[in-house]
Amino acid sequence: MTTRQPNRRGQGDQLRAELVDAASGLLEQVDGAEALSLRAVARAAGVAPQSVYLHFADKPALIAAVCEARFADLHTTLDATPSATPRARLRAMCLAYCDYALANPGQYRVLFSGPIESPDRAQHGVATLGLLLDAVRACDKPTASGGARAIALWAALHGIVTLRRDRPDFPWPPLAELIDTLLPGTIERRR
Amino acid sequence: MTTRQPNRRGQGDQLRAELVDAASGLLEQVDGAEALSLRAVARAAGVAPQSVYLHFADKPALIAAVCEARFADLHTTLDATPSATPRARLRAMCLAYCDYALANPGQYRVLFSGPIESPDRAQHGVATLGLLLDAVRACDKPTASGGARAIALWAALHGIVTLRRDRPDFPWPPLAELIDTLLPGTIERRR
DNA sequence: TGTACATCAGTGAACGCGCGTTCACTGATGTAC
DNA sequence: TGTACATCAGTGAACGCGCGTTCACTGATGTAC
């Protein structure tokens, strides 16, 4: 579509990054990775469909690369959350998680809703959850393990952002109110 | 595929129900309504592709009919929840909601994850949420409104069932543990 | 300095596929007279 | 009681489309000698 000069010799890998970017962008205009076509990605990058195969074995491999890049983003964002107190950090992390997901709904979908194409991707998901788990643990007495509570929190955040994404016409209360309703159960032992 | 006799005169509507059933079944083998093909539904019903058009204007109309039927199921299931005490009823309703979603993951997806094809469908969703809202209110002091808390609960349940569906290899704690972690915040005023 | 050659980044053209949808048709069944 | 006809439930065949993927090719750029 766009006219495009071939990269200089040795700079061939640049197209790889451009394809990952193009795919990430298109994921915001389409319902899930299955609905994203490799040909559309090539068009968006200004390149012939076959050129995708210079850098990716097939369509799942391209999607996997997108996931890797986007997981890295999310991880960095969560890790950068400020930390006045453990509870403030946990709450800020929840908000950051939701903000990321709501700002990049199509990309978030491919991270946590689509089928898993590679073991790497499962790994990334677990690592991201690890950040949340540590933040929950930091609020507990040293003996508490917090595993199930962190998972419950993760699932709750996931539900909030996916429902908001998929049912935008619903009269949603403010994000912080939802989080503050659900958060307390996850940082104290249940009565 | 299946050999099939034409319905008797006057019984033409039977095919409509068979198509809705076939589509519902196929939704369990496919990733979302967009990935379900009208031709596959016709094949499963043992009928030519064009026969679908005897009962539905197009593919979205078929999906809308599936939603209507499945929303009715879910509503009935939730409404039939036993009610020893308000809190017991709320908890049982949460479990019933999750059980339904986990038993029929593909159909649940089309109710709450896909794009909305008809205003009817939004209506159904709101009605189902109404059951949950009433159950939350029944646990409160008479003055409390409970709207945002019921929505938070709904979102949390949604997150639990969709993540479990989409990441089945993750080491999930028992469903009841997740629910019991998140439920308390929704039935008491926050500290 | 000149030139033959290897390599790199990418394209032209085509493949077979399943899809949603449309048009014209069929054959059995009930109904009017 | 017989028969012409309307209606009903469905099909045969085809349309144009975008898709993932493959094969053979091109033209510019750097390198060896």
pLDDT per position as a tens digit, B106-150: 999 999 998 877 778 888 888 999 999 999 999 988 777 878 999
CB of A49 nearer than 7 A to strand C: yes
pLDDT at B60: 96
pLDDT for residue B125: 85
- The answer to whether A147 CB sits below 7 Å from nucleic acid chain D is no
Asked if the Cβ–Cβ distance from B148 to A181 is below 8 Å, we say yes
- Nearest CB among A113, A125, A182 relative to B152 is that of A182
A62, pLDDT greater than 90: yes
* Section A175-188 average pLDDT: 94
Any atom of strand D under 7 A from CB of B10?
yes
B156 touches chain A (CB under 8 A): yes
| pTM of the complete model beyond 0.75 | yes
Whether pLDDT at A90 is above 80: yes
Average pLDDT score, chain A: 92
- Is the pLDDT at A112 greater than 60? The verdict is yes
Taking the Cβ of residue A152 and every Cβ of chain B, the question of whether any pair is shorter than 8 Å is answered with: yes
Residue nearest to nucleotide C23 (CA to C1'): B50
Does B181 contact A169 at a Cβ distance shorter than 8 Å?
no
Separation of B38 CA and D4 C1' (Å): 39
Chain A residues in contact with B185 by the CB 8 A cut-off are: 181-185
Distance of alpha carbon A41 from alpha carbon A27, whole angstroms: 10
Q: How confident is the model at residue A189 (pLDDT cuts 50, 70, 90)?
A: low
Rounded distance between C-alpha atoms, residue A132 and residue A151, angstroms: 9
The three-class DSSP label of residue A117 is coil
Other CB atoms within 10 Å distance of the CB of residue A162: 25
What are the residue ranges in chain B where pLDDT is below 50?
Answer: 1, 190-191
DSSP A72-92: HHHHHHHHT---SSHHHHHHH
Question: Which tokens belong to B93?
Answer: 């309703």
A65-98 as b/e: b if 16+ CB within 10 A = bbbeebbeebeebbeebeeeebeebbbbbbebbb
Residue with token string 């071939």 = A6
A1: Cβ contacts below 8 Å, ≥ 6 apart: A43, A44, A46
Q: Is the CB of A148 under 7 A from strand C?
A: no
Query: CA(A58)–C1'(C17) in Å?
Result: 17
Q: Is the CB of A72 under 7 A from strand C?
A: no
Cβ contact B64:B118 at 8 Å: yes
Contact assessment for residue B66 and residue B18, using Cβ atoms and an 8 Å cutoff: no
**Least Cα separation, residue A54 to chain B (angstroms):** 28
CA-CA distance, A86 to A134, in Å (whole number)?
A: 10
pLDDT tens track for A128-164? 999 999 999 999 887 778 789 999 999 999 999 999 9
- Across the interface, whether the CB atoms of B151 and A173 are under 8 A apart is answered yes
Provide, rounded to the nearest whole percent, the portion of chain A with pLDDT above 90.
79
Question: Residue A112 and residue B167: Cβ atoms within 8 Å?
Answer: yes
Give yes or no for residue A1 having a pLDDT over 70: no
- Contact (Cβ atoms closer than 8 angstroms) between residue B112 and residue B159: no
pLDDT of residue A27: 98
Q: Which residue is associated with the tokens 């949950």?
A: B132
Q: What is the spatial distance between Cα B62 and Cα B70, in angstroms, rounded to a whole number?
A: 13
B37 contacts: CB under 8 Å, gap ≥ 6: none
Q: Is the CB of A34 under 7 A from strand C?
A: no
In the block, tokens 């009817």 appear at B120
Q: Does B145 touch chain A (CB under 8 A)?
A: no
pLDDT of A124 reads 87
pLDDT of res. A143: 78
A139 touching chain B per CB within 8 A? no
Asked whether residue B37's C-beta has any atom of DNA/RNA strand D within 7 A, the reply is no
Question: Which residues in chain B have Cβ-Cβ distances shorter than 8 Å to A155?
Answer: 156, 159-160, 163-164, 178
* Burial of B82 from C-beta contacts in 10 A (0-12 / 13-18 / 19+): exposed
Residue A117 has pLDDT above 80, yes or no: no
Of B153, B108, B158, B112, give the one whose Cα is nearest residue B133: B153
- pLDDT(A45) > 90: yes
Interface check A177 vs B, CB under 8 A: yes
